[in-house]
Structures are given as C-alpha cells and as structure tokens.
Amino acid sequence: MGAFLPNYNDPIISILLLLGIIFIVSILSYGYSIWKQEQKQKELVGFLKSFESSEDTIFDIQNIEFEPSMKKPLFLLAHAFLKSGDYSKAINLYLFLIKHTKDSSILGHLAEAYYKAGFLQRSIDIYKEILFNTPRDVEILYKLELTYEQLRDFSSAKEVLGILNELGEDVSKLESYLALQHIKIDNKSKEDKFNELKNFLDNPKESRWVVLRELFKLNPYNAWSYYDDKEFKKLIDILWKLDIAHLNLDIISRHKSLKKLYYAKGLLQESSNEATLFAIDLISSAKSCGYLDSDLRFKYICSSCKSSMPLPFLRCHKCHKVYSMNIEVEVGEKREKSSYSLQ
C-alpha cells in the first residue's frame, strides 16, 4: 500500500511539491492582479460617466474608432487645446482617451482642464479619485488645496495643507496666506480685521510686507505705526497712492526714502539727496526743474515665473506661488485721477 503513496522523505518529491505550490500561488496572484486591474478600469469608466454631459460633445470625436497609435497624437492635441484655452475640446479629448486607453495617468490632466474651465467641483472629485489610489501624491495635493481655495472652502484647503505638512512639505507661507484670505473675505468690521491681521505681521517674517499692505488698505493712518523701511519697495505703490490726509509726517520725516517719495509727488517741499529708486530720483529731479506732470506707474512681476500683471497679487495667477510679487516702477505722464484697487 505504502508503495502507491508519495514518499515525503524523498527530496525530489518535496522539491516538486514546493514548485507546484509556487506555481499555483503565482497563477492565483497573476489572476488576482488582472482581476484587480479590470476592476480599477471599470471603476474609472464608471467614475467618468458622471462627467459626460452635453457640453462635452462640442468636439465630436465619439464616433471615431480608437487605435492605440492615436494615443500620443490625441494626447498632444488635447494638451495644445488646454494651453490655447480651448478647454471643452481638451476635456472631450481627455475623456475619450481615458475611456479607450483606461490610462488613469491622464486623470490629472483632465482635472486641470476642468479647473481651468471653471468646473471646480469636478476637478476636486477627480483629484480625490487620484489620491484614493496614490494618497502621497504631493503635486496632486497642492492642486487640490488650490482648487478648494478657489471655491472659498478654506477649512478643506487647510486640511489638505495639514496632510502636506505631515508629508514633510513646508507649507508655512501657504498657511499664512490662507488665513489672510479667510480674514479678508470675513464679514467683520474693518477694525476687527485690522486687529486680527496685525497678529500675522511676523508670521512668517519674510512675508511681513504682505500683511502691511492689507493694514494700509484697511486703515492707513494706524498702519504707519508698523511701517519698516525694509519694506519700502514692496509698499511703494500703496504709499504713492495714499491720500494726503492719510500721511503720517512724523514717520515720513524719519525716513529719507519716504521724504523723497512724497517730495516727488509734490506733497512735501523738502527732499532728501539720497538716491532711492531710479524712477523716484528722476521725478524728483524733474520737479526741481519745474516739470510737474510726471507720475509713477507700477507693474507687478512674479519672481518665480516672471509673469507681469497689471494689478497687485498675493498668489501668482500663472504659477500659483504665494507672495512672489515684485513691483517694477516706471515714470509716466500724469493722467486723470482714477480709483485704486489693491486686489
């Protein structure tokens, strides 16, 4: 009887058994990974069904038969549409590509297209879907935070910053920016906002000028007591456009840069001989020679992406970096007085 049963003491039988077990486990594992991949693809297609709507049929490619060789050219075409601002066509192409290739890496581009087209909630849903599979994707987390911020959902944006912080990212500037934005849109009195904002003056220290700009906007007279000449270049547009009633002559008389600025503007009779900015020195010299029709013009440049904007900004509209604004000053001819907006 024992001759018919396998001899477990035989090393060849043991090796064959082991190889058999490894083979069965490998087959099961391979089958499971294929099943899981198919499930993911089904979920992806199901998830995208909620985004299909009439506006997505503007660029009609749904009847075209998909070939794998079309993937790269169509992806590049979608990217070109996105760059040129033709968002509905870009969205339509990305949806088409994801549907036929089941490539989830295109989801991030689709979310960006929805963001740019103004469909912020759709963008958030897609970013969450991506994070469900890759929760430590820092780039997507930053984009999700930005989208929440655009929706004025500051508490969700703050939660995302908390996750980024746990992942080792330095989000101190973003946290301060978010808190600042929250105060700015709050329904409080100007006085309450001023008192809350001044607590942010040194937090973080390198963005002190940002808070100071807001303080000058809320209450110029009280803001003077926090003025520091180190921030002169970052405040120059605000200082130049201040009304004469909001000047603090005591503080101005203590700083040569301010004395020269307000002499150039024609609000002071005495100036300083010290050089400040080329444009201010030029206007001062012109004034000394009796030419009174010159004025300062301001351009706002992002120190990160070098984009130029006509209005001041706390977060660059192009590269989304916070507190990256530099002010470029030019001399121009005086125009009729117009209303001034800080943001």
**Long-range CB contacts (< 8 A, 24+ apart) of 121-125?**
121/151, 122/51, 123/147, 124/148, 124/151, 125/50
Closest by CA to 112, choosing from 137, 135, 138, 79, is: 79
Residues linked to residue 300 through DSSP beta bridges, in sequence order: 309, 327
- Residues binding Zn ion: number (CB under 5 A): 7
- Please identify, using beta-carbon distances, which residue of 296 and 302 lies nearer to Zn ion: 302
Q: Does 101 bind Zn ion (CB under 5 A)?
A: no
Least distance CB 315 / Zn ion (angstroms): 9
Q: What six digits make up the tokens of 327? A: 């002010």
Query: Which positions from 108 to 127 touch Zn ion by CB under 5 A, shown as an x/- string?
Result: --------------------
Least distance CB 173 / Zn ion (angstroms): 14
Q: Does 305 bind Zn ion (CB under 5 A)?
A: yes
Burial (Cβ within 10 Å: 0-12, 13-18, ≥19) of residue 283: buried
Q: Put the strands of the sheet holding 308-309 in their side by side order.
A: 308-309, 294-302, 325-333
Choose one: 128-136, 200-208, 230-238, 306-314; the region binding Zn ion (CB under 5 A).
306-314
Q: Does 304 bind Zn ion (CB under 5 A)?
A: yes
Nearest 5°: phi and psi at 237?
Answer: -65, -40
Least distance CB 342 / Zn ion (angstroms): 19
Q: Does 319 bind Zn ion (CB under 5 A)?
A: yes
Q: Does 173 bind Zn ion (CB under 5 A)?
A: no
- Please identify, using beta-carbon distances, which residue of 13 and 319 lies nearer to Zn ion: 319
Binding site for Zn ion (CB under 5 A): 302, 304-305, 307, 316, 318-319
